[in-house]
Structure 1
Amino acid sequence: MTDVLRVELRERIAVLTLDRPGVLNAIGTATTDRLGEVLDELREDDRVRALVLVGAGRCFSAGADLAEIESFTAAYQFREFVGRLTSVGRALQHHPKPSVAALHGFAFGGGLELALACDLRVAERGTRLGLPEMKLGVLPGAGGTQRLPRLIPPAVARQMILTGEPIDADRAYGLGLVNELAEGGGALAAAEALAVRLAAGAPLALAAGKRLIDEGLRMELDAAIAYERETVSVLFTSEDREEGLKAFRDRRPGDFRGA
């Protein structure tokens, strides 16, 4: 199982590489299980402040492993398969440490669904992003129909989902689906640089910021602002807040400890 995912620690970031280039990083049960285990382990790893998700070889991921899916003989098997991918997406979205997807080649189907669950996305120019499940007579089942219209205009998401047709990285950047563009071969380096900037932040504030954005979007505005006020009031008591103010006065980067 460990063959399907490589984990490398670099400058307070963990680079997680989908490592099945021979099958275009198709995502099967072994991949979702291993990725879920790694995300759980990294929650408590103080050496890591941010995550980067990337694919080996010529693309980020072609999507779910169709060879494994074709072996299913009952709907419950497919439901369990999709459930594992959904759980990994949830683990990424709600992970206390921010994540950046580094996209190149193409990110289709379940691969794009994983990227949508990350906090930020970097893509090389020419990368194609799509949810082609409609062309197979099904639909995205691991968050694609829900996360995509929350990230880009619903009318564009509707077209992508109902036609199965992809968009390129430049259009995705214009829509806000991709945060940064990179030239050919530069997605990983750009994602790592972005992750290093994230990792420089205070861990408690990073985790709280993720929660405020995700949970606040589901609330009425007044309730969300009240939730924000209570959250930042708690952060005021942290050692990192004291360090941040001291670093500002000293005109130096903060040395945040997550306390």
Structure 2
Amino acid sequence: MDAVYETVVVNFNEDTATVTFNRPDSLNALNSVLIKELNEALKELSLNEAIKIVVLKGEGRAFSSGGDIKEMLQLSGKDQFFSIMEQINSLVTTVYTMPKLTIAAVNGAAAGLGLSLALAADYVICHEDSKLAMNFIGIGLVPDGGGHFHLERRIGEEKAKKLIWEGKVLNSNEAKKIDIIDEVAKDMNSAVQNQIKAWKTKPILAMIETKKIFTALNNQKLTTILELETNAQWKMRQTYDHQEGIKAFVEKRQPNFLGK
């Protein structure tokens, strides 16, 4: 890989690539640059036949705190909003459909869009001190990044719906108990390497073919959900409750929602 990125670091070890989100000062908040560069890096890896396993991780104290709210607040109008959502939808589709075995190695926070991205991976490992939240409800929005798709895929519609509505912050053990994630780890590096070693004892090409069959079956559903999420987010951004949620977030207080 010849590309040099501002917000992404890609490392190679034999047939495994590790893709690191590299905005640690913002807890790897997903701004337009990081979203674009992640998508480019992952699409390039998708075409690299030498790579069989891809690990996603965050530099510093978090996997990703979610979408960059500061940048989102600066969006001026419908065209800009739909442009950034198109980039998000492309990135999530790339993660979910890439013909590789994927691991999300979650350290610290994985919130909002950051959690959606983690759940798009085939195997999710969380450090025992991690915190996970599908917390869009707190600012009067619906999940994006295929959050509805990935939660339903992992825990079913009813549990997914309740989790989205609650917006509860989960610790790693709580997330594992309800099967949102696959493993809780004390030592993240060891856990990731153990999973890679386990996969390498199996016929990985056959495993990838099985993944490709499932993604072919489900890709249209993901596309539909991403479109519905985008339109719902735009609709909710026009509401009083969203404006109140953002204001309360900035002012660090509890929002006073009115259902309008």
Q: Sort the TM-score into its range (normalised by shorter chain).
A: 0.7 to 0.9
Structure 2: distance between partners of 1:3 and 1:72: 22
Give the 3 Å change call, closer, same or farther, for CA 112–55 of structure 1 in structure 2.
same
Q: Counterpart of 2:19?
A: 16
Give the 3 Å change call, closer, same or farther, for CA 202–64 of structure 1 in structure 2.
same
Structure 2 counterpart of 1:95, from 91, 95, 98: 98
Tell me if 1:147 matches 2:150.
yes
The 5-angstrom pairing of residues 164-175 of structure 1 reads: 164-175=167-178
How far is 1:190 from its partner? 1.3
The 3-state SS of whatever aligns with 1:2 is: coil
Give the 3 Å change call, closer, same or farther, for CA 198–86 of structure 1 in structure 2.
farther
The 3-state SS of whatever aligns with 2:124 is: strand
Structure 1: distance between partners of 2:34 and 2:52: 23
- Say how many residue pairs are matched: 217
* AA at the equivalent of 2:198: R
How far is 1:75 from its partner? 2.5
**After superposition, what is the alpha-carbon deviation per residue over 1:226-248, rounded to whole angstroms, capped at 9, x for unaligned?**
xxxxxxxxxxxxxxxxxxxxxxx
How far is 1:62 from its partner? 0.3
Gaps (5+ residues) in structure 1?
219-259
Q: Counterpart of 2:179?
A: 176
How far is 1:124 from its partner? 1.1
Q: Counterpart of 2:257?
A: none
Larger Rg: 1
What TM-score, normalized by structure 1, do the two folds share? 0.77
Structure 1: distance between partners of 2:119 and 2:15: 23
Gaps (5+ residues) in structure 2?
220-260
**Runs of 4+ in structure 1 over 4 Å off:** 215-218
Q: Counterpart of 1:82?
A: 85
* AA at the equivalent of 2:93: R
How far is 1:215 from its partner? 4.3
**After superposition, what is the alpha-carbon deviation per residue over 1:82-139, rounded to whole angstroms, capped at 9, x for unaligned?**
2211211111111111100001211001100111111110011131111111111211
* AA at the equivalent of 1:46: E
Structure 1: distance between partners of 2:149 and 2:119: 10
Q: Counterpart of 1:162?
A: 165
What TM-score, normalized by structure 2, do the two folds share? 0.77
